[in-house]
Amino acid sequence: MMTVVSGGPLTWFFVLPDGVTVRLTIDHVGLDDSAVRLSYPGLGIHEGFLDAEQGLIIAYAHGPETFVMRYDEPSVSHSELLGTNPWIDFSSNTPKLFKKVK
């Protein structure tokens, strides 16, 4: 679970059951705004692109007492997508977000 207390833009990506990678961006949470909470099943493929110049995020992992992080594991659904993201331009030293998927 992630709670955006302030700042932005902050972007997350999630792989859906059909293998499509979707993007969710919180443009900005002001100091006088209510926080925004994202809750998602962390065992699915997901990632964050957190490059805001200012902000505060609180992350809280909940679930089993122990679990295994999988970075290259063929048993993960859509494991061929691990290490890829159609929303991110990796062609330079500093990755950048595409405005839309190519």
The domains of the chain are located at 2-97
- For 42-97, the DSSP string reads TTS-EEEE---SSEEEEE---SSSS----SS-TTSTTGGGTT--TTEE-SSSS-EE
> pLDDT (tens digit, 0 to 9) for every residue of the chain, 102 residues total?
889 999 999 999 999 999 999 999 999 999 999 999 998 876 678 889 988 988 999 988 777 788 777 666 677 788 888 889 999 999 999 999 999 997
For residue 54 the two structure tokens come to: 């200012």
**Distance set, CA 11 to CA 67, 72, 80, 94, 98 (Å):** 25, 23, 22, 16, 12
Global pTM reads: 0.82
Cβ of 87: how many Cβ atoms within 10 Å? 19
